[in-house]
Structure 1
Amino acid sequence: MSVADAFDAVAGSYDAARRRLVPCFDDFYGAAVEVAAPPLRAALAEGRTPEVLDLGAGTGLLSLLLTAAVPGVRTTLVDAAPGMLAVATGQLTARGVAHRVVAADLTDPLPAGRYDAVVSALAIHHLDDDAKRELYRRAGQALAPGGVFVNAEQVAGPTPALDRRYDEVWTARITELGSDAEEIAAARRRMRHDRPATVAAQCAWLEAAGLVDVDCFFKQWRFAVFGGHRH
């Protein structure tokens, strides 16, 4: 089963499980929105529509949070799973958010345009490291001057022992939050597609892609928010 198939299979129930499977949900997504918002607000102050590119957008959760924080944004959602994009379309349309969806893999060319923010949540870790580096390069090129790239991501521990500890903590927390054995098993089946990298490696790749002010803005065990700006 492909990554797209795995996520299409849970498109209808995906968002309902987020607050259990991402134990730091509010801080994690909140940090991503905080980092992405300033150039979007600056675009509005200049009298133009802020443009967002959401990579591996899934059900549109991050785009919905961004457009709630900065009304007036136009977002382009890219995902290889048509079922997830259908959910995103329904949610964005219901909220009157200007958007377009593009069914494509993250290794495909990015939709043409210059974006004030390129964002992603829990998607890029499905790529191998070479593909991550190449996507970061292309994402940086897609940014307008002063634009921001933000990745809210599942990351690897810097050592095998820490990586194991990340998983122990995650399993304990999601169990406390109400995930049952079936939900955990389904999540682990999807995680077979995961190829996470460390925060340090990915920040180095962003700098190599030409981004500045690169930093990790939030981290709680395996969940991290990092990114940088284009000059």
Structure 2
Amino acid sequence: MNNKKDVEKKFNENAEKYDSQRRQLIPCFDDFYTIAATVARTNKKSPNILDLGAGTGLLSSKIVERYPDARLTLIDLSDKMLEVAKERLQEYENITYIVNDYTKHAYTSKFDIIVSSLSIHHLSDEEKKKLYQDVYKMTDKGGCFINADQVLGSSPFLEALYVEDWKSKVERSGLSTEEIKESYERLKLDQMSTLSDQLQWLEEAGFSDVDCLYKYYNFVVLFGRKTRA
């Protein structure tokens, strides 16, 4: 089956419930999103910002609070998710919404900040490497890239530990049996890569100051800067 088509279908089906379940499905919700938004730094008053796999605009909403004059582009496969984002961000101007595959879209400008949250783990290893290279090219000098995502454990033991911890928290979260079942079903769409591999791929793409700025089991915030033109 086509993984991206499956992703689009699952997230279209779940769009209306997505935000209400976030805190139960992400045990480190506040730190995860707050840190990702906080490190999205620029000296420009009206930065050009791109959100890859923007979904309901949750991360974008936190960033645009800091940069209300930003020019913001949200791209996602799911039109239903972007409809929720439009509602969330309706008070802001200069926002472009694109329903497309962000790995294939032809971008027409460079960006000061590029972000992504809980999306890139749906890509294969090769797609991730290629995306990081493309993101580097699209980032303007002095700009940065932030990926708040999930990673694969670096050993079978650690991966099992991550999954066990997450499931134990989800099953005590107050979600219904059906909602938990749906969240487990979406796991089948994941193609997670290890943290070490992704840090290496970001460096190979050309990013400087590459680091994992936050980690809670398999939830991470990855960061890189573009220091050369």
The TM-score by the shorter chain falls in which range? over 0.9
Structure 2 residue aligned with 1:43: 44
Task: Give the C-alpha shift of residue 97 in structure 1.
Answer: 4.1
CA RMSD of aligned residues (A): 1.2
Structure 2 residue aligned with 1:189: 185
Of the three residues 9, 12, 21, the one matched with 1:5 is: 9
Query: How far apart, in 1, do the equivalents of 2:195 and 2:99 lie?
Result: 28
Structure 2 residue aligned with 1:208: 204
Partners of 1:153 and 1:223 within 8 A in 2: yes
Structure 2 residue aligned with 1:229: 225
Task: Give the C-alpha shift of residue 183 in structure 1.
Answer: 1.4
Alignment length, in residue pairs?
A: 223
Give the match's secondary structure for 1:163. helix
Q: Deviations over 1:146-180 (max 9, x none)?
A: 10000000111000111011011001122233223
Structure 2 residue aligned with 1:127: 123
Of the three residues 26, 30, 40, the one matched with 1:26 is: 30
Query: How far apart, in 1, do the equivalents of 2:93 and 2:174 lie?
Result: 32
Task: Give the C-alpha shift of residue 72 in structure 1.
Answer: 1.7
Matched, 1:86 2:83: yes
Structure 2 segments unaligned to the other structure (5+ residues): none
Moved >6 Å (runs of 4+): none
193-202 or 84-93: bigger deviation: 84-93
Query: How far apart, in 2, do the equivalents of 1:170 and 1:178 lie?
Result: 14
Give the match's secondary structure for 1:75. strand
Partners of 1:67 and 1:97 within 8 A in 2: no
Structure 2 residue aligned with 1:176: 172
TM-score (norm 1): 0.93
Partners of 2:68 and 2:92 within 8 A in 1: no
Of the three residues 211, 217, 226, the one matched with 2:213 is: 217
The percent of aligned pairs where both chains have the same amino acid is 39
Q: Deviations over 1:41-72 (max 9, x none)?
A: x011xxxx211100000011110011113322
Task: Give the C-alpha shift of residue 109 in structure 1.
Answer: 3.0
Task: Give the C-alpha shift of residue 145 in structure 1.
Answer: 0.6
Query: How far apart, in 2, do the equivalents of 1:14 and 1:68 lie?
Result: 21
